[in-house]
Amino acid sequence: MATQPATKYSRIALELHAPVARISLDRPPLNIIDIPMMEELAEALTEIEARIEISILIISGSQTAFSAGVDVAAHTPDKVEQMLAKFHGVIRMLIASRKVSIAAVHGNCLGGGAELAMVCDLAYTSELATWGFPEIKLGCYPPVAVTALAALVGPKHAADLVLTGRSITGREAAGIGLANCVVPEVDLEHAVQDAVHHLSQLSPAALAIAKKAIYAWDSIHFDKGLARAEKIYSDELMKTEDAQEGINAFLEKRPPVWKCK
């Protein structure tokens, strides 16, 4: 039974049409993920998880982007611990979900947006999409990516993306394993719906258990690894002058002046 997008959400849109739920990041133009959006995502994921008639979750972005990442202003010392807890809470919920998750990626898919897409079970990308983890340019690093990216694309590709902060196209993202399939942007929704059609013919119970089994080994290491990455981020990285300089320079729209400490 279809429902209209929930009015209680201001930064996302939630549509339910069994067996599919769709979350659209809806904070144009770039769908930046701020703390209120993280809270809405957690609430929506909780609602979806409670619905036994839903077995498939699509996550996409509104208008011209998937998401250009987490709000840089949320990385300041007074907000960073709350931001990490809330964003990583969403990531953990998505990984633990019994629903098969599909990321539909077009436009910018950067930083926390790319982390959100990479932890979905399946990812379909436009060939013109822009993927990347640019946090190093701010004197930071992406905790989810440093924890899990190497398992997806291999250590060398992961090091390249995290340490250079360079962006890649959707075609290259699919080529290294960040996405399952790359298509022209006009065909993206059709590719997603083909996957949904196939999955909807299968047993929701079997899908949920198979998903749990696929990640049984990796999830043990992911939980420990992300906790460690969070601790290093808070206890070491955010106490460096360079991390503060990178964030301040971005907010002040100027080049950073690194102090090497």
Catalytic residues: 115, 135
Which pair of tokens denotes residue 258?
Answer: 């690194």
Rounded Cα–Cα distance for residues 97 and 24 (Å): 17
70 contacts 112 by C-beta, under 8 angstroms: yes
Rounded Cα–Cα distance for residues 60 and 102 (Å): 9
Rounded Cα–Cα distance for residues 230 and 138 (Å): 17
Rounded Cα–Cα distance for residues 163 and 240 (Å): 17
Rounded Cα–Cα distance for residues 161 and 39 (Å): 28
57 closest CA partner among 96, 88, 107, 11? 96
Rounded Cα–Cα distance for residues 163 and 137 (Å): 9
Rounded Cα–Cα distance for residues 109 and 177 (Å): 15
